[in-house]
Amino acid sequence: MPGPLAFPRHERLTRKRDFETAFRTGRKSVGPLFVCYAVRRESQGRKFGFAVSRKVGSAVVRNRVKRLLREFYRTHRAQIDDDTLIVVVARPASAEISFDQCVRAMRRLLGEVEVLHG
């Protein structure tokens, strides 16, 4: 989807090194559905990535969780601070959630790591 609600390629987290940086140095917030890591990086831009392991469920379930996370980011990215690298790790309980539950959980976690405003 083009425009302000897109999830542009330059905002996707794809490199293993960036994931490791978030895990090693990021602020961590743990919830029943997700674990969130956030790192502030000057003039690097906003980036979002996620990890959904096989512990969450079958491929269909994992893909659904990934779609929910992408949709959350897509609709809330304007409220996330610039120059922030965010990694979300899905926990097995996330297999059965609705989009509203995903939004509530993610807003709480991002608020705890202080990268969400508004």
Output the domain CATH number for residue 16.
3.30.230.10
Position 4 in a domain: no
Q: Which residues contact 73 (CB under 8 A, 6 or more apart)?
A: 7, 48, 80
**In this predicted model, what pLDDT tens digit does every residue of 79-92 receive, in sequence order?**
998 889 999 999 99
Global confidence as pTM = 0.91
Position 97 in a domain: yes
Position 42 in a domain: yes
pLDDT of residue 118: 66
Q: Which two tokens stand for residue 65?
A: 């969780």
Position 38 in a domain: yes
Report how many domains make up the chain. 1
Position 1 in a domain: no
% of the chain at pLDDT higher than 90: 71
* Mean pLDDT for all residues in the chain: 91
Mean pLDDT of 10-28: 92
**In this predicted model, what pLDDT tens digit does every residue of 44-68 receive, in sequence order?**
888 999 999 999 999 999 999 999 9
**Phi, psi angles (nearest 5°) of residue 97:** -90, 160
Give the domain range for residue 45: 9-112
pLDDT of residue 45: 84
**Phi, psi angles (nearest 5°) of residue 80:** -95, 135
Query: What stretches of the chain adopt beta strand conformation (E)?
Result: 27-30, 34-40, 47-51, 84-90
Position 25 in a domain: yes
State the distance between the two ends of the chain, measured CA to CA, in whole angstroms.
23
